[in-house]
Amino acid sequence: MKIISAKVIVCCPGRNFVTLKISTDQGFYGLGDATLNGREKAVATYLDEYCIPALIGRDPRNTEDIWHYFYRGVYWKRGAVTMAAVSAIDMALWDIKAKALNTPLYNILGGKSRDRILVYAHANGKNLDDTIEKAGLEKEKGFRAIRIQSGIPGLDHTYGVSEGNKPYEPAQQGLPREDSWDTSKYLNFVPELFAKVRKAFGEEIHLLHDVHHRCTPVEAARLARELEPFHLFWLEDPVTGELQEGLRLIRQHSVTPVAIGEVFNSIYDYTTLITEQLIDYIRMPLVHGGGITHLMKVAAMASVYHIHTGFHGATDLSPVNLAATLHFNTAINNFGIQEYMPHQEIVHEVFTVNYQFRQGYLYIDDSPGIGVDIDEKAAAKYPYSMACLPVNRKSDGTMFYW
């Protein structure tokens, strides 16, 4: 089998997505997600200019060799843009490989370790009461795990909280919005938030929280310790991803489980964290972490240290990534939980999907390959529209992490 062509489809059904479609001489084609929120065109260009010409003529079944060609073989390796491109190639090749064998992707990744995938929902209210109400609505939908984010008294915009009644979407049209931040207001509020949420729902719901990289190690250690009585499923990104040593301080002070890595893109971002057992969940998604070939290795390494997966799954990761991830989660032993933020209806005009939510779990069907298709005519109706993630400043104007 040979790759005869490949193209990048950039579309904006409500938000931007970058999809790679690789076609073969035997009629099979594969899809890969290459979406990097706010930097979509950089990945599209990397694929168009540098990767696609080097893919033509290769046997798509050689996923390991092709992965190393675009990773090890490239002098300027790693980085979010490069790895999103590598991920899309890898995902599309595994899609082809499974379709050629007429079997769902999970079958060639190890078969079924489970029939359903535990997912977590998002409750993001304007304030404490609103957040409890929103969490109640998610519980009524059947979710057994809910991420709790809330507006913080005294701050105008808070990470994770939607505008008005719209679904949460961090990327805004045009140049980045400037948010403002105050760590002490945040740290004083969050323990009270979790005390009330736990009281309202009891112990049977899993609660999660995303710090979104905004604490120093000692602040994060204080937060993790103060949240201990409320038994979080996890505390996410308590410190910035690039500061691996920061996780040591959190571990020394608390047993609140920690998840990290949605902005990671290499196994080398994880080696200290895994081998020193500083974390409990890996979040680096297939779409930004080099696809199935690479994540299989990261997950295997994590499993040696009793660390589980909990992959990033916000709406800026396309349905192609979500479906591929569900196959991956179905097959591996050390699956933990999957983030699930449903895409808006308009997204499904472009992408037809093979997964369904029921009572707290996602179910993937047994169609061959990844099982997601793209309607290119529908995609053409929604051209790219520039949108960026916000930036963040402390209340005195100092540039900060968003």
- The CA radius of gyration of the chain, in Å to the nearest whole number, is 20
Instruction: Please provide the DSSP assignment of 168-196 as one string.
Output: P---EESSPPEEEE-HHHHHHHHHHHHHH
DSSP letter for 309, please: E
Task: Closer to ligand GCO by CB, 60 or 238: give it.
Answer: 238
Catalytic residue flag (residue 348)? no
The burial class, CB within 10 Å (0-12 / 13-18 / 19+), for 140 is: exposed
SS3 282: strand
Catalytic residue among 29, 159, 281, 355: 159
Catalytic residue flag (residue 212)? yes
If one asks whether residue 339 binds Mg ion (CB under 5 A), the answer comes out as: no
Beta-sheet strands, E only, within 78-219? 117-125, 145-150, 172-173, 178-181, 206-210
Q: Which of 33, 40, 95, 210 binds Mg ion (CB under 5 A)?
A: 210
H helix intervals, 150-286: 183-201, 217-227, 246-253, 271-275
Choose the binding region for ligand GCO from 84-92, 134-142, 180-188, 311-319 (rule: CB under 6 A). 311-319
Judged by beta carbon distances under 5 to 8 A according to partner kind, the member of Mg ion, ligand GCO, none in contact with residue 388 is none
Round to whole Å and give the CA distance between 189 and 212: 16
Nearest by Cα to 194 from 245, 143, 123, 99: 123
Structural contact between residues 296 and 267, judged by C-beta atoms closer than 8 angstroms: no
Residue 27 beta carbon to Mg ion: minimum distance, rounded to whole angstroms: 39
Residue 196 beta carbon to Mg ion: minimum distance, rounded to whole angstroms: 22
Residue written as token pair 């929280």: 209
If one asks whether residue 373 binds ligand GCO (CB under 6 A), the answer comes out as: no
Residue 234 beta carbon to ligand GCO: minimum distance, rounded to whole angstroms: 11
If one asks whether residue 262 binds ligand GCO (CB under 6 A), the answer comes out as: yes
Q: Which of 4, 54, 128, 314 binds ligand GCO (CB under 6 A)?
A: 314
Residue 392 beta carbon to ligand GCO: minimum distance, rounded to whole angstroms: 11
Q: Which of 63, 339, 355, 364 binds ligand GCO (CB under 6 A)?
A: 339
Residues recorded for the chain:
402
Q: What are phi and psi of 315, to 5 degrees?
A: -70, -10
If one asks whether residue 40 binds ligand GCO (CB under 6 A), the answer comes out as: no
Judged by beta carbon distances under 5 to 8 A according to partner kind, the member of ligand GCO, Mg ion, none in contact with residue 314 is ligand GCO
Task: Closer to Mg ion by CB, 3 or 146: give it.
Answer: 146
Site for ligand GCO in 75-114 (CB under 6 A): none
If one asks whether residue 212 binds ligand GCO (CB under 6 A), the answer comes out as: yes
98 sits in which H/E element:
helix 80-100
Provide the mask over 262-281, with x wherever binding to Mg ion is found by CB under 5 A and - wherever it is not.
x-------------------
**Catalytic residue IDs:** 159, 212
**Interface contacts to ligand GCO, rule CB under 6 A:** 37, 170, 210, 212, 262, 312, 314, 316, 339, 389
**Interface contacts to Mg ion, rule CB under 5 A:** 210, 262
